[in-house]
Amino acid sequence: MRRKVTLKQIAKELDVSISTVSKSLRDSSEISEDTRQKVQAFAKLYNYKPNNIALSLKNRKSKTICIIIPEIIHHFFATVISGVEHIANENGYNVIVCLSDESFDKEVINLETLANGSIDGFIMSLSKETQQKRDFHHIAEVINQGMPVVMFDRITNDILCDKVIIDDNLAAFNATQYLIDKGFKKIGLISTVDYVSVGKLRTEGYTKALKTNDIKFDENLIIKIEDTDNFESQIETLISNNDLDAIFAVNEIFAVTAIKVATRLGKNVPNDISIIGFTDGIISKYSSPSITTVSQNGVKMGEKAAKMLIEKLEIEEEDYEEQYKTEVIETELVERESTI
């Protein structure tokens, strides 16, 4: 177990100065062909690699970005990470992944511990708790310190920064419209509580589609799920109490559970009831019947977010102008077997 070799050690061995070694390795013209080769050969022999930490300190940048997500188990977030990682790697950046576990406090801690030189910028999606509290001072703080932040998916308008989202409202509108076009009138909605920004937006899209098509809005056809424990019974109540033509669910889990419950209640999907989900993950793909769903393309979101962040990081200090963009990623309705 030999320790990593440093410039100093090489310098000592070859009886030259540290500067000479450094310059030789960087092919500086200041150094004679002779010593340059000697140094390079020696460095190669001992497998010299510059110490990243020292470089970070010197350059005042770490070439590392951090992505904070509420949950890694969600397929969507995993795909976003995948996209971020891809672009980051292409540009020589590393990715630190932090999980907030939907907790405000963990989000704060993550930001605080990493905003001290460890990383160059953040990509983040808000935790449920943060959205509920509407307390964003921790984010404002890191931005104020000059650290770029890109928010995605679960964002807030209270913070000025780059954002990448899908048009949740429009996507939900289109999904609902798709059902309406099939001739359905009694369309149920399985959504989340309103403080989850995307849940609220999707609910609004659903409502708008109904209104646009002059379909009576019925409060009873909507359930908003808070905790993830006993939502199956809520869905069961929804389906058995109303003779629904179709259901729009704001995520995969809700959609697949709706299918399961409907089937158990003796309804055939899609013949008796059509179901549309949101997020095109493995559940939608492998469910039977497979699920018609709104595809968000998490990979593309991650890639876009990473690109925006890195772009901010690489512009020179003097050229910097405070200007924020919000990118909207296209969604797509993937038609499968759960709709007629």
Partner DNA sequence: TTTCAACACGAAAACGTTTTCGAAACCATA
Partner DNA sequence: TATGGTTTCGAAAACGTTTTCGTGTTGAAA
Of 85 and 162, CB closest to a copy of itself: 85
Interaction partner, residue 193 (DNA, a copy of itself, none; CB < 5-8 Å by kind) = none
Q: Which stretch binds DNA (CB under 7 A): 54-62, 91-99, 224-232, 299-307?
A: 54-62
**Which residues sit opposite 223 in a β-bridge?**
190
Contacted entry of a copy of itself, DNA, none for residue 103, CB cut-off 5 to 8 Å set by kind: none
Q: Which residues between 91 and 120 bind DNA (CB under 7 A)?
A: 117
Residue positions counted in the chain: 340
Q: Does 216 bind a copy of itself (CB under 8 A)?
A: no
Give the residue, chosen from 265, 286, 325, 326, that forms a contact with a copy of itself under the rule CB under 8 A.
286
Q: Residue 14 or residue 334: which is nearer to DNA going by CB?
A: 14
Q: Which is nearer to DNA, 16 or 334 (CB)?
A: 16
The residue within the footprint of a copy of itself, chosen from 32, 37, 45, 57 (CB under 8 A), is 57
If one asks whether residue 317 binds DNA (CB under 7 A), the answer comes out as no
CA–CA gap between residue 175 and residue 184 (Å, rounded): 12
CA 294 to CA 331: how far, in whole Å?
7
| Rounded Cα distance, 27 and 36, in Å | 7
* Dihedral sign (CA 177, 180, 185, 190): negative
Q: Which residues pair with 187 in a beta bridge?
A: 246
Nearer Cβ to DNA (32/326): 32
If 0-12 CB within 10 Å is exposed, 13-18 middle and 19+ buried, where does residue 190 land?
buried
Asked if 32 is part of the footprint of a copy of itself (rule: CB under 8 A), the reply reads: no
Q: Which is nearer to a copy of itself, 22 or 64 (CB)?
A: 64
Contact, 244 vs 260, CB < 8 A? no
Q: What letter does residue 216 receive in the DSSP assignment?
A: P
- Interface residue with a copy of itself among 95, 151, 161, 235 (CB under 8 A) is 95
Least distance in Å: CB of 114 to DNA? 15
Give the whole-angstrom CA distance, residue 151 versus residue 171: 19
Which own/partner contact pairs does 103-110 have at CB distance under 8 Å and 24+ positions apart?
Answer: 103/127, 103/129, 104/129, 104/130, 104/133, 104/135, 107/68, 107/138, 108/138, 110/66, 110/68
CB 60 to a copy of itself: min, Å: 8
Instruction: Give 65's strand partners.
Output: 95, 121
Contact 223, 191 (CB under 8 A): yes
Q: Where are the alpha helices (DSSP H) in 62-114?
A: 75-90, 104-114
Q: Is 82 in the site for a copy of itself (CB under 8 A)?
A: yes
| Using rule CB under 7 A, residue 6 touches DNA | yes
| The binder of a copy of itself chosen from 123, 189, 253, 276 (CB under 8 A) | 253
Residue 193 in the binding site for a copy of itself (CB under 8 A): no
Decide whether 8 or 137 has the Cβ nearer to DNA. 8
Residue 105 lies near a copy of itself (rule: CB under 8 A): no
Q: Is the dihedral of CA 84, 85, 89, 92 positive or negative?
A: positive
Give CA separation, 38 vs 34, 178, 340, in Å: 6, 71, 74
Q: Rule CB under 8 A: is residue 114 a binding residue for a copy of itself?
A: yes
Residues that bind DNA (CB under 7 A): 4, 6-8, 15-20, 22-23, 25-26, 30-36, 48-51, 54-55, 57-58, 60, 117
Residues that bind a copy of itself (CB under 8 A): 1-4, 49-54, 56-57, 62, 64, 72-73, 75, 78-79, 81-82, 85, 89, 94-99, 106, 112-118, 144-146, 253, 256-257, 259-260, 263, 282-283, 286-288
